[in-house]
Amino acid sequence: MTEPIPGPTTEALAERARRHRAMIVGSLYERAPDGRYFNTTPFIDRDGSILGCYRKTHLFDAPQRTDIPPGMMESKKVAAGDDLPVFDTDAGKIGVFVCSDLRFPEIARVEALKGARILVCCSAFLSPRLDHWEFFLRARACENQVFVVASGQYAHEPASGVAFVGRSAVVDPWGVIVATAPDRECVTVTTIDLDQIEEVKYRYPLMHQRRPSMYGHIGRDVSGP
């Protein structure tokens, strides 16, 4: 099911954001004005306004996955986004990415370099890759010295039977998981101290030790299978 943004889902979430004075971030399938479909994450502020949208940039194409017969090709259904926005909020700058984007460290690094202090990952990460899920969340937080807040879909999708990891989590700038959801549907609540970001950066100034002149190869296309 797809819908425009703004649309019924974002309107319902905006009402809840205003009611609870909470920022809400989550993904849905967007029907864009040009007729294309995107896996889109609208960022809804505490007053119910939509600060902007992130469209998933790295689609999950895994045609050879024998455990997801007959394989999965997200690109057959939706288009990929081509922007990495960072949103200004009263908690500082926040970056967003979706599901398989987590496997691409360049996304988190670009958003961190744009000033993001918190990275939000909205995901339906496939089971049984719990080891990958936790490893990547911790790595993205530690290497960029930011908080990562990740929501994970849980249980099985009824139509296909595909299972998901769940385990929503909050990871601190040291890469320590400070909160995680159990294996059931629930709400997980924790408190974070954003001053910890500056403390970690002071102890280990990674961003100042980068050597961008050496990294040109990262932006090149790779040919071949």
pTM: 0.93
155: left (phi over 0), alpha (psi -120 to 50) or beta: left
Instruction: Say which amino acid occupies 120.
Output: V
Q: Which of 17-26, 65-74, 110-119, 155-164 has the lowest mean pLDDT?
A: 65-74
Check pLDDT > 90 for residue 201.
yes
Q: Are 14 and 1 in contact (CB under 8 A)?
A: no
Domain boundaries, the chain: 8-211
In the predicted structure, residue 224 carries a pLDDT above the cut 80:
no
User: 3-state SS string over 32-43?
Assistant: CCCCCEEEEEEE
pLDDT digits (tens, 9 = 90+) for 120-152: 999 999 888 888 999 999 999 999 999 999 999
Give the fold, CATH level 3, of 8-211: Nitrilase/N-carbamoyl-D-aminoacid amidohydrolase (3.60.110)
How confident is the model at residue 176, as a pLDDT?
98
152 and 166 in contact (C-beta within 8 Å)?
Answer: yes
For the record, the structure tokens of 40 come out as: 């889109």
Q: pLDDT tens digits, residue range 2-18?
A: 999 999 999 999 999 99
Query: In DSSP terms, which residues pair with 79 in a beta bridge?
Result: 38
What is the token pair recorded at 150? 């990740």
The mean pLDDT value for 167-183 works out to: 96
